[in-house]
Copies of this chain bind each other. A is one copy, B any other.
Amino acid sequence: MTTMSGEPPVGLIGRQDELEAALKSLVADRTLPLYRMMDYHMGWSETTGEARISAPPLRVHGALTLLACESLGGNFSDALPHASSVEYLYNHILIHDDVRDGNSERDRRASVWWSWGPAQAINTGDGMHALARLALFEARNSGVTSESVADAIRVLDEANLETCEGQYRDITLQERLDVGVDEYLSMCESQTGALLACAVQLGALASGESDDATATVSVSGALNVFGRKLGTAIRVADDCDLFWPNGERDETRQGRLVAKKKSLPVAHVIADGTPTDRRRIGEIYMERVIDPESAKTLVEILDAAGARKFSTDTITRLLDEAESALIGANLSAVAVQKLTEAARYLATPDGLASTDLVTDGGA
């Protein structure tokens, strides 16, 4: 079984309330309206400043940090600063994504830039970037060594820089049709996987895990692979959902299709399809935007060329590799099971729908 659907695993959602409280505590005492734009983006308030009733999306990065910490035998509360840090870093990326891509919506509400303009949105994102790191100093205040905090910040900033590299490649690929399968997957790994890898590595750091000398890879190295494979699998699952949605394609997703976002199914047919299929896809992608009729034709070509099976096989392979990495580091069976269960859920349509991952910016 490569995917499963339905309710999210407890390991993933069990600490969302505590995480939410930790995230809120970092801005609650800050009075400048700058922080109220952050509140809005995080889903805690309306543009008017009134409290919001709907629950925020599942915070995948923070949840994975807490899950990794607990799976490795740590106390989740030791990982709350780390979880807050990676979660704020991710949300800073989303705020900037929306400016860059001109997304008017985020999580079915007006995006920050749409509500307050690009200048405030860029600045709010930058402020959240600083906040992400200050979150980690909370750990230092509660007795974590400077050594460990410095390690965590380094992991965070290296992942951050790699995410920017992935963004750069994503922006650049938009202009090209001849994007190879490996090139596409490698971009996804940087743009989405690096930060998920960072999330689980931070959880391990917070747990104070020590390596099993008989393991072939270090725990940190294994979690790094796990997060990268997971991020890539999620991106491919999202690609599949774009072409073969459960039910109707909503406006946001239709917009991504129209805007010709790069995807694995198309990359596969461009690389390995028949000359006719490649030519027909080329013609569709030469259109300024893809109209609904062309979208239907495109999906037919992809189906006939086996792109759907190729993509779901890729997801299976990536998730299996993620699991193998954990096994190779001699993680306990329970840890492997919990982390793998979370990963497999996140790469399902239900998993995608419950999170703030790849909602529309493609990050």
Contacts and interface: CB of A to CB of B under 8 A. Distances in A.
A42 interface: no
A94 to B, nearest CB: 12
B119 A161 contact: no
Interface in A268-287: none
A137 interface: yes
Contacts of A158: 130, 134
Interface string A28-41: 00001110000000
Nearest to A150: B146
Contacts of A130: 157-158, 160-161, 164
Contacts of A20: none
Contacts of A52: none
Interface in A256-314: none
A129 interface: yes
A47 to B, nearest CB: 16
A161 B140 contact: no
A122 B146 contact: no
A320 interface: no
Contacts of A122: 96, 99-100, 122
Interface stretch (A3-11, A165-173, A225-233): A165-173
10 contacts: A93-B126, A100-B123, A120-B171, A123-B164, A123-B171, A124-B164, A126-B129, A134-B157, A137-B150, A146-B146
6 nearest A-B residue pairs (beta carbon): A127-B164, A130-B161, A130-B160, A34-B168, A100-B119, A146-B147
Given A34-B168, A96-B123, A100-B118, 8 more contacts: A100-B123, A122-B122, A127-B168, A129-B160, A145-B146, A146-B147, A146-B150, A153-B153
